Amino acid sequence: MTQRVPLIAGNWKMHKTGTQAVEAAERLDGLIKEAAGVEVMIAPVHTALYQVSRALKGSAIAVGAQNLHWEQQGAFTGEISAEMIVDAGCSHVIVGHSERRQFFGETDDSVNRKILAAKKAGLVPVFCIGETETQREARETFSVLDKQMQDGLKSFAFEKPSDLVVAYEPVWAIGTGKTATRDQAQEAHQFIRSLLEKLFGKLTADGIRILYGGSVKPDNVEALMEMPDVDGALVGGASLDPETFGKLVLFNQ
């Protein structure tokens, strides 16, 4: 089986000004200097991206945006493009987060356009999928994931498995303190990998990292990471404090 380097990603959502983001990023960088065999990404708000990327120059921490528009430029008030995100020093972008789907009308179709635009500009999309509590209770988890994957990845052309990161985030576990059990996470991740295999072949599917997201904390990360198809975490609340996030990054040391 392909060795997948774990990725611990922090989604800072609408928290921290530029100054606060730089302070936290530098503190985190200092705390995880010794981290080996793990990759780290943080996603501050748009207005902090350039400052944080500049502050982290030479550091191993990657910077990502939390959203993008699929057009390169134009009359789209309030939006920013993949090229602008690259220009701000980013290598990654979160796409299709459930908060964007829930509150900002994101659809599988807009997610697909964003993923293709990100790839074209050389960004790695961190593609979020996941079912709501009602869908889980109605035993629709697999069909929801299947549709989100098929629609979201339409026309995506891999050059290498690291072109994409998938994040499984059950909506009922985000910011609620309810983590999926590691067996629930593994079951979903295994299913997602089987879909990736159907769409892109085994070699690519084996190399793609699938992150778990939803109330990941220092005291549950290790158990989740022991599961064979869990390749990292997308962390919201617990990524805001550098000490706590540092512990997550150093989960195996």
Please report, as ranges, the residues that interact with ligand PGA according to CB under 6 A.
11, 169, 174-175, 213-216, 234-238
* Beta carbon of residue 119, minimum distance to ligand PGA (angstroms, whole number): 21
* Beta carbon of residue 160, minimum distance to ligand PGA (angstroms, whole number): 25
Angle at 33 between CA 8 and CA 238, to 5 degrees: 35
Q: Is 169 a catalytic residue?
A: yes
For ligand PGA, give the closer residue by CB, 92 or 158.
92
Angle at 20 between CA 19 and CA 24, to 5 degrees: 120
The catalytic residue among 39, 99, 131, 169 is: 169
For ligand PGA, give the closer residue by CB, 110 or 215.
215
Q: What is the rounded CA–CA span in Å between residue 246 and residue 242?
A: 6
Closest CA to 89 of 72, 69, 65: 65
Closest CA to 8 of 182, 160, 165: 165
- The residue sitting closest to ligand PGA, measured at its beta carbon, is 236
* Beta carbon of residue 213, minimum distance to ligand PGA (angstroms, whole number): 4
Element of type H or E holding 186 = helix 182-200
Give the 3-state secondary structure of residue 209: strand
For ligand PGA, give the closer residue by CB, 200 or 214.
214
User: In this structure, are residues 164 and 129 in contact, taking their beta carbons and an 8 Å threshold?
Assistant: no
Q: Is 15 a catalytic residue?
A: no
The catalytic residue among 69, 92, 97, 189 is: 97
User: In this structure, are residues 44 and 19 in contact, taking their beta carbons and an 8 Å threshold?
Assistant: no
For ligand PGA, give the closer residue by CB, 69 or 101.
101
Length of the chain: 253
* Beta carbon of residue 1, minimum distance to ligand PGA (angstroms, whole number): 27
Catalytic residues: 97, 169
